[in-house]
Amino acid sequence: MDAELKMCGIAGELRFDGNKSDLAITKRMCDAQIHRGPDDDGYYVQGPVSLGIRRLSIIDLTRGLYPLQNESGTVHLVFNGEIYGFHALRSELQERKHRFRSKTDAETLVHGYEEWGTKCLDRLNGMFAFALWDDREQLLWIARDHFGIKPLYYHQSKEMFTFASEIKPLLARPDVHARPNERVIQDYLYRARVDDTADTFFDGIKRLLPAHSLLIQPSGTIRLERYWTP
């Protein structure tokens, strides 16, 4: 199956202003990308964070419901893509006493994060974009695959951080506005340059670059990391 057809749509937010996350806004973002995941939807909301997904069901159609959780319910994941050769990683994690609730490839990421933290990216091979919330550490972690096959966009302000698989869901929010990024548009029109930086055609909306991750905390602290270099 073509990589562009094997897709789900993810979205969510983390508030910096002390307000609770509005699940209705995350649902609106997911509805704006229902074409990416017509089979199912799922949500997690707790305090300042909310996660949502529109799912295209491919593996474990009945038990692979999102957001996926760890055994204690402290780690929550929404995921778009595929992890190649995940059975070997699953077996290793089971030997380390992790209990799986589904047969999905994405659940190896949940338990891999429990075991190795963000370094679990070193063990992944595939095409993916995901968002993971660690309730104990109060940490939102988003990442994109090594070559950027799966898209992931985000917007940040003093009040919140929000992300989605496409730009359209971000613009579905009442607090994100469609304003042109004139510099990027000029680079495209004059030099035919596009997608070579984190900036997009929309001012204030960025793409997460391939092989990069973001660590975001409710305090507003954001750390960008590159986890792989060719």
Check residue 3 and give its pLDDT.
Answer: 45
Check residue 65 and give its pLDDT.
Answer: 66
Check residue 1 and give its pLDDT.
Answer: 37
The pLDDT tens digits for 162-199 are 999 999 999 999 999 999 999 999 999 999 988 889 99
Q: What are phi and psi of 184, to 5 degrees?
A: -65, -40
The catalytically annotated residue of 2, 6, 7, 8 is 8
The pLDDT tens digits for 25-66 are 999 999 999 999 888 899 999 999 999 999 876 555 454 467
Q: In what order do the strands lie in the sheet with 153-156?
A: 40-46, 49-55, 9-15, 160-164, 153-156, 206-207
pLDDT value at 83 more than 50:
yes
Q: What is the largest CA-CA distance in the chain?
A: 57
The pLDDT tens digits for 195-227 are 889 999 999 999 999 999 999 999 999 999 999
Share of the chain above pLDDT 90, in %: 86
Active site residue 8: yes
The answer to whether residues 133 and 140 touch, using CB atoms and an 8 Å cutoff, is: yes
The secondary element (H helix, E strand) that includes residue 213 is strand 212-216
